[in-house]
Structure 1
Amino acid sequence: MSEDDPERKAAPIPALTDPDRLRSLDETRLDAVPDEAFDRFARLVSDLLDVPVALVSLVDADRQFFPGETGLPQPWAGRRETPLSHSFCQHVVDIEAPMVLPDARLYPRVRLNLAIEDLGVVAYAGMPLTDLDGRVLGSLCAIDSKPRAWTREQLRTLADLAAACSSELRLRIAVRSAEQARRRAEEAHDRLAMLAGMSEMLGGTLDVSTAVDRLAHAMVPLLADWCLITLVDPAGRPRGVSGAHRDPERDADLARFAQLLVTGLGPESLIRSVLRTGRPVMRGAAGIEDVARGTTRPDLVPLADRLGISSHLTVPITAAVGDRVIGAVTLVNRPGRRGFDASDLRTAQDIGVRAGQAVGNSRLYGEQRHVAEVLQHSMLPALPAVPGIELAARYLPAADRVEVGGDWYDAFVQPDGELVAAIGDVAGHDIEAAATMGQLRNLVRGNAYGRDDPVEELVANLDRAIGGLRVPTVATAVLARVRPDDGGLRVHWCNAGHPPPLLLRADGTVAVARGRGPLLGLTRTPRRTGRTLTLAPGDTLLLHTDGLIERRDQPIDEGQAELLERIAAAGPAVPLAALCDRLLTAADRREDDVAVLALRAG
């Protein structure tokens, strides 16, 4: 009988096409090529069961393949695969149990299988190979060319080897899953870095075209192969379309596509739908027909074909005030790249919101002051109430500058009641410096909250976060942990290039807490060192930025000496808030922002 003979045709086995099983099989990353680990399993089966042929056989929807094999005749040994017409192992997948046949020619399920004639399979014993969820991916099988009575000991040995072989398969799947998780984490990291810098990037200009160009190039190729940004006039009509493509050779096609799209959106256009309704549209699988259906300009279709389209996502750009749709962001992937998913949609919607803020800023100059005020409030946290610790803080912007800058302070209580205090200074005195300051302060909180690491390790983690998230800054900071200790306070602190903390003891003496490390944000991450000091009741620790001591007309050491004199003159009896006020009032020639954070042991 031939392979095409009706008697040879068998009913399809549903388990072979189960998507979860096939996905798990794919994650092993095995194919019809030799694999030393699985060849070893095949040799062990052949030696221990004294059979001429042994296979590690994995079965997909239309074939079986052998990453492990010994004893197969040619040409099968070279091919390392057979069609299902030659597969006994597919039945192990089907029944999800061992299949033991002393003489296959006597069993209706397999007696017409071509493996009997072409591969000489007569006696067969196959044990299931499973993934962690119990899905059968194939079989570890022993084969003889003559009838054979399989012994209980042989079958137990084969089952034990199949369990070990399954463990190896699961390890391969786990490694693959870990790689995928790492790639997803890296992708998420890159997206977070992009989003972290996007507000600053878009807020750095009041020119609409510059903001749109920056936005487009920030999204490509990280989020998509190419993108379009459509802005509308007050009547909702497209007034401009621009974008970016990952392939510079397609720039001219994209520019022409964007030009035609201004007047070429048809009634069924997905972009027009988003502009009209304000609801996003995502097509995980898209094609040229979507373009043809949505345009009144047929010449857009060949352009779209050259640009490439297999997946499409459009989200609205909404005005910062009133939620009015003022445009749309369109992301497009070419064939060969995965389709967009829910995670992409959330990211794109976040970008749409940020883009709306940027466009609104360009149209309403006063929005810049509003952003500055928001940043200022975020920079000045409410100080917590901590038993046994008095806290006070002050902030003053530099004279004749915008109302926020790069100086900041923070104090918050950990879940265990410990106080974390910090102060820092980002280079610059403008909106960009304030935006970076906000990122840095949030990184400090996110990095330290709920963790009991030494302060030097927290600062080292901050170094790594600044570099990894590509926060564009050079900054200084002091980070301190404050804990009760024998009626006073023990302070563990680390200095990253910042003016040193100052001590006003209860007996009136004033001292400098020495120990200053490298700046934050350096290209090469330095080793950080922590230090410890003790505050007795009535002792005061003063953290400040360099605006309190820096002058153009004198060395910084002289400025620090004057500050120490003012602290000593005030004395330990002055209330903490009044001490901070005196220090800022005395800095009447300040040329920089000033931040002060003081704490006193109760």
Structure 2
Amino acid sequence: MSEDSAGRAVVPIPALTDPERLRSLAETRLDATPDEAFDRFARLVGDLLDVPVALVSLVTADRQFFPGATGLPEPWAARRETPLTHSFCQHVVDVEVPMVLPDARLYPRVRRNPAIEDLGVVAYAGMPLTDLDGRVLGSLCAIDSKPRAWTAEQLRTLADLAAACSSELRLRIAVESAEQARRRAEEAHDRLAMLAGMSEMLGGTLDVATAVDRLGRAMVPLLADWCLITLVDRAGRPRTVAGFHWDPERAADTARFAALLATGLGPDSIIRSVLRTGRPVRREAAALADVERGATNPELVPLAERLGFGSHLSVPITATGGRAIGAVTLVNGPRRRGFDETDLRTALDVGRRAGQAVGNSRLYDEQRHVAEVLQHSMLPTLPVVPGVELAARYLPAADRVEVGGDWYDAFVQPDGDLVAAIGDVAGHDIEAAATMGQLRNLVRGDAYGRGDPVDEIMTHLDRAIRGLPVPTVATAVLARVRPGAPGLRVSWCNAGHPPPLLIPADGPVRALDGDRGTLLGLTRPPRRTRQELTLAPGDTLLLYTDGLTERRDRPIDEGEVELMAQLAGGAALPLATLCDRLLAAAHRREDDVALLALRAR
């Protein structure tokens, strides 16, 4: 029970809060502003019944407003509404029959109503205004400031006008219902289109953050005013929360709400319940108490109020096997309808599809991590060698797991010589990387501690590949670097690999073509040959794999010419900077890239 402004007890009328009646009232799309059609009804009542005040009064759960009015005193005429404390028409809604009072001051039900003094309501006659189902939305009323004996003819005229006024209300409701049906049909079509395209949309990326962003932007505002997407770790703890709102001006509040929610979910929160049970939770009419009850951070409540909190729906994001790996929460503000069973079915479908996408993304991330660990374990740490500067880089093929068959190696012999190698095993997957690891280890095991020329070491490598056997075909360059006086003496053997490039300190870049030889792993390998040169101080030797020059849309010769152009002036650059420049130019290539550069000091 509440009190009016004078402290008098006000008994609530249950009929005023009937949801169906309030829905019909909302569908009239009328408010406390003048409407010409209803102002005309008020004027007719005033003229035909000869009363100073006539109103088309519609009654909500907490006020009455007048889309049609004539003769109201100020300030009520400008406001076009009053609180229920000043309402006679609420009693027409309650009793659902006409209420006729010759002198309101004599009737216990209304004699203390402040409208008698504030609005001058003494004589009152109100006829129900109804929707198609007979629910009373308000009244068409005639008011006099002095006692009045209403005649049967006046009441009949008022009833006829109320019937016509009700017809106008029903027409407004019908038009709005038809418009709502049209909007719902369009919304259903848009939802079906969204669901039809969601698998492709989410399947187009293996990045979890991108998938979450696409999902959120697809749902808002189509399914809700704003939404939250919560993902959990293997222990079931919220790992990330992302928020999306239809209004760009609310982006900061949404982001803040999502950030707080990641650590601010209490044990009684709805999202935790969904994550724990795997069952959805829907509130067609919600209150901020839902947020307050489930949050540990008090800042979440005012944020939710600013974002709009009238109804909400939370569904699980389910992975294979039905395990909840997250939750989607849809929220509507008070001005948008509450969520219904259709919304629930759509959201559950979204949760299932999102679960597949997130599950695939996580599986890819796990495989990618394993591949990265494997690849980096196979990329050696370059040694420190007096008189030699070394730099190396590895770039995996674009859009593939970061592992492949390209490799490089450099190690110091017991006699102080440096052995440098680079190679390429066919393939861009885990199997290629595993084979590459075997080949690299064969090179190390065969060359370490031996003073044999590089061509003989390459011949031993051919025999080992055939005899063990190692199921591969590969290219490689093996070089031995020995300090000279001054500079470095280099001998190398090429097994079908792109030739090394020489970047002199004071001359043009040139390819050390010579004899490229044939691939490693052939049934009948040829006799291997070696080549030699001397690097003067400042000269640079570049070993690289063909991913640096090959592209499907052009001949390899063009790629080699482009590479040599990129190396022009490279002798003046720090070796690491030169390598980085080459990798930047190789971005988004179709093949792995490995390179090893050495410079005489």
TM-score (norm. length: structure 2): 0.49
Greater gyration radius? 2
